[in-house]
Every structure is written in C-alpha cells, then in structure tokens.
Amino acid sequence: MPRILIVAPNWIGDTLLAQPLFASLHRRLPGVILDALAPDWTAPIMQRMPEISAVSRTQFRHGELRLKDRWRLGRELKQQGYDQAIVLPNSFKSALIPFFADIPLRVGYVGESRYGLLNVVHKLDAKRLPLMADRYAQLAEVPGKPVESQLEATRLRVDHANLLITVARLGLDRSRPVVAFCPGAEYGPAKRWPVRHFAALAGHLAARGMTVWLIGSDKDRAIGEEIAALATLAEGRVINLCGHTDLTAAIDLLSAAQLVVSNDSGLMHVAAALGRPLIALYGSSSAEHTPPLTGDGPPARLVQFEGLECRPCFKRECPLGHFRCMNDLTAESVLREIAAIDSEQFALRSE
C-alpha cells in the first residue's frame, strides 16, 4: 500500500484548495495512505479531512530556516518509509524535510529553484491553470500532462461533541437562527469588507430575528469589537467570538450557522467545506482564482465589484487609496444576495 507524505501549505485557504488533489490520489491509488506535515496553524484543517490519515505538526514560523531541526525531523520521518512526498508550498525550505527523510519520489513545482531537492519537478503554467485548486491537482499528474479541471467540493468533518462543549463554554444562545460573519483576512486590509458595512448588515439581520456570531482569530479581535460597537441597531445580537476560539472550535461553530458571510479568507473556504450557504466577499482578490469549492452543495454567492478597472490587484493594501472594490459593496447589496439564497431551503427565517 503506497504511503505519501503531503507537505501542507502555510495558509488555511490553500490547504482546503489542495483537497481535490488528495481526493484524486485516493481515486488513482486505492488504499493509499496520505499523511501530512503541517504547520501548527493549518494542522486542524488537515486533521478534519477524511482523506488524511495522520498529521505531524511543525513549529516553524514563517520564514524560519532552522536547518538542524528540519534535518532532525527528516531523519525521524525516514522511519515511516514513505514512498513519495508531495510538497505544496513553493519555498526552498519546505522541500528540505522530504529530502532529509530520503523519500524516493519528491514531487512539487520548481518554486525557489528546488532542482535536486525535488526529483519530479513541475513547471507552473499560470495562464493555463488560473485556479489554485487545479494547480495543486496538477501534482498528481506526470509533469507536462494537463490536469482535467474537476473543482470538486471540499469537505471537513464536524466534531459535534466539541461543538456542544464550545457553545456551552461561550454561553451561546442557539434559539434563533445564526449567521456567522468572518470579518478578518490574514492577507491584508485590501481583502476586508469595511467594519461599518458588516455592522450595517448585522443590524438588518438582527431586525429579522437572527443572531450574528463574529468568528476569527485573535488578530481579528479588534475588528470584531468595532463591528459589535457599531452595530447599534442589532440590539445586542452581535456576539464577538474573534479570539475566543481556536481553529478547531471555529470550524465546529461555523458548522452550526445557517448562513456565513465572509471575506475571501481561510474561514470562507472552511465554511464552503462545511456545506454552509455562503456569501463570499472579494476585494483586491478574485473569485476566478480562489473560488470556494462547494460542488453540488448549498449555494455560494460570490460578491465582487464587477467592472472596476483596477480589480483584481491582489495587493494587501489598496494602492490607490480609495478602496472602491470594497467600500462600494454596500450592506444593502449584500442583503440582496442573501435574499437570493432560498430562505426556506436553508432555514433562514424572519420574526
């Protein structure tokens, strides 16, 4: 039975967009065992993927080399006898551990000139493969053989016991329908819908009898506080949970939402993988590059400012200063998108 080590991406969203590759490996190699080597902050995503057997966590921070530690980890992994490694990040560092582990086949994109570290080397044709998910799926093919775009759905397991524990710990009331907002975006402010728009939308939804949970990391705590403070029309029905959960609890809380409104961020991909009806807001990025992979599941409405010449610029901060791609997406326009999602089918209701 072949054993493959996946070196996971450094971003939550990218980790989910790699899931079609894992599904494809299982189809091609029945009985294959896929283990993952993942940084602490994406490991919970890998642990919830049905295709992944075991996850080893790494403690390397962004940009850290720590050559000796990588060598040591590589030698430990050698004992596992992997037949192949697939290295998803493009950095030189990320290809070192499979090399130190003497894994015979080491697959990945050239990235930072990784000839030698990798021995099955793909060259990225970014125009032919605009979708991130297809770029990863390409790595299951022989280099040069085009991949067939599948865009199958991502999916994560939910831990229902952990959901109940988290709800109790945070004292959350689930008697009303819950809409989850994910107002952060680690990449930068050019991907974040303005807090005043989130607050205005929260007011509209609270008036229809819904509770709004703000979900994000500790880095999003201040954004959450600002939204809750601005949402004066929401009558206390906006609960800032940013920074109050780890990623595992955030996954389970999102699974309990009737609707998720999210920036183009890792949690947006998590919501899609949980099969939640989703409003995805795109600013400087593009739905043509990283759409949520919902398959045949509940709908995702992708909201982006069409016809704005500077879009998508893919910058972390707006280089033009006006930030029209997000400023001009009003709460009312997002509300119209929500209305377009079948209210009966997805249990959204008004008082």
Minimum distance between the CB of residue 139 and ligand SF4, rounded to whole angstroms?
30
CB neighbour list of residue 60: distance below 8 Å, 6 or more residues apart = 39, 66, 69, 70, 93
**Per CB under 6 A, 324 contacts ligand SF4:** yes
Q: Could you say which of 15, 166, 284, 304 contacts ligand SF4 (CB under 6 A)?
A: 284
334 with 201: CB under 8 angstroms? yes
Minimum distance between the CB of residue 333 and ligand SF4, rounded to whole angstroms?
16
Inter-CA distances, 2 with 85, 216, 350, Å: 11, 37, 53
**Per CB under 6 A, 311 contacts ligand SF4:** yes
76 with 57: CB under 8 angstroms? no
Minimum distance between the CB of residue 308 and ligand SF4, rounded to whole angstroms?
6
Instruction: Supply 185's token pair.
Output: 């975006």
Burial of 245 (0-12, 13-18, 19+ CB in 10 A): buried
**Per CB under 6 A, 310 contacts ligand SF4:** yes
Binding segment for ligand SF4 (CB under 6 A), chosen from 106-114, 254-262, 274-282, 312-320, is 312-320
**By CB under 6 A, what part of segment 188-227 binds ligand SF4?**
190
Binding segment for ligand SF4 (CB under 6 A), chosen from 2-10, 143-151, 198-206, 305-313, is 305-313
In this structure, the chain runs to a length of 351
Total residues in contact with ligand SF4, by rule CB under 6 A: 14
Minimum distance between the CB of residue 338 and ligand SF4, rounded to whole angstroms?
23
Using alpha carbons, select from 309, 301, 251, 281 the residue that is nearest to residue 190: 281
**Per CB under 6 A, 283 contacts ligand SF4:** yes
Contact set with ligand SF4 (CB under 6 A): 190, 283-284, 310-313, 315, 318-320, 323-325
